[in-house]
Amino acid sequence: MENFKSFKVDMSDNSVITTENVIHIGEIIALCALKTRIKKMGINFDGLYQGLIHDIYRKSDSIEPFTDGYDIANTAIVFLCQHIGKCLGDTISDRYGKPATVRQCCYRYVDTYLYYQYVTPIESWVSLDNESVKEPSVDFEIYTASENEYTVVDDKISAMKLKKNENNVLSCYMAGLGHIETAKILNIDRTTVWRCRQKIKGKYILKFC
């Protein structure tokens, strides 16, 4: 049986980005951004997603090459490396000069990479049998406007005042991970994952429903 890596990932606002955790934080953000893009566009990126999951859980002594999916994680890691020593909740300027948290900026940076690396080529692809070239259905203005969704989600998460474990479980859940995968990444029991999800659900209902 394959031995999976076991590590803890703190995705709370107070989590300091260090050389020890930057890879794991980048991987979680990459998973979340990819899962969000899949749901938003309805595009089948199963190969990328499964490849990324496989690379994250791969054994440390594995010599097989990384999949294309891990390029997404590398994009997040490179961004986070520029902010070593800062907290995920620290405010910085985004590419438009507007204030945003390090986490928000990283999500947007990775999502932009996904859009231009994978979404745009698919939208502009045409068959040689087609009589005319199909124009891309999403232009840059529409795409950048959708970035506000990240701010709305982060504001709701902050309003729920989640505890550290709950915040970590929610980050894994948003990345599309199940109970077992979440338990392995956070190095906690599956029952703890279940309880955290129930508490998050309760806080959401109490705050917004």
Per-residue H/E/C for 136-188: CCCCHHHHHHCCHHHHHHHHHHHHHCCCHHHHHHHHHHHCCCCHHHHHHHHCC
**DSSP three-state, residue 48:** helix
> What confidence score (pLDDT) does residue 143 get?
39
- The answer to whether the CB of 186 falls within 8 A of the CB of 59 is no
CA nearest neighbour of 26 among 94, 99, 102: 102
> What confidence score (pLDDT) does residue 136 get?
42
CA nearest neighbour of 185 among 44, 5, 3, 1: 5
> What confidence score (pLDDT) does residue 42 get?
64
> What confidence score (pLDDT) does residue 87 get?
94
pTM: 0.62
Residue holding tokens 């203005």?
141
- The answer to whether the CB of 155 falls within 8 A of the CB of 13 is no
- The answer to whether the CB of 203 falls within 8 A of the CB of 158 is no
How many residues in total does the chain contain?
209
Distance of CA 20 to the CA centre of its chain: 19
pLDDT in tens, the chain (209 residues): 344 445 567 888 899 999 999 999 999 999 888 888 777 766 677 788 888 888 888 756 566 788 888 999 999 999 999 999 999 999 998 877 889 899 999 998 998 888 888 777 655 544 444 444 444 444 433 334 344 555 677 788 888 888 888 888 888 887 777 777 788 888 888 888 888 988 888 888 888 87
> What confidence score (pLDDT) does residue 80 get?
94
The DSSP 8-state label assigned to residue 93 in this structure reads: E
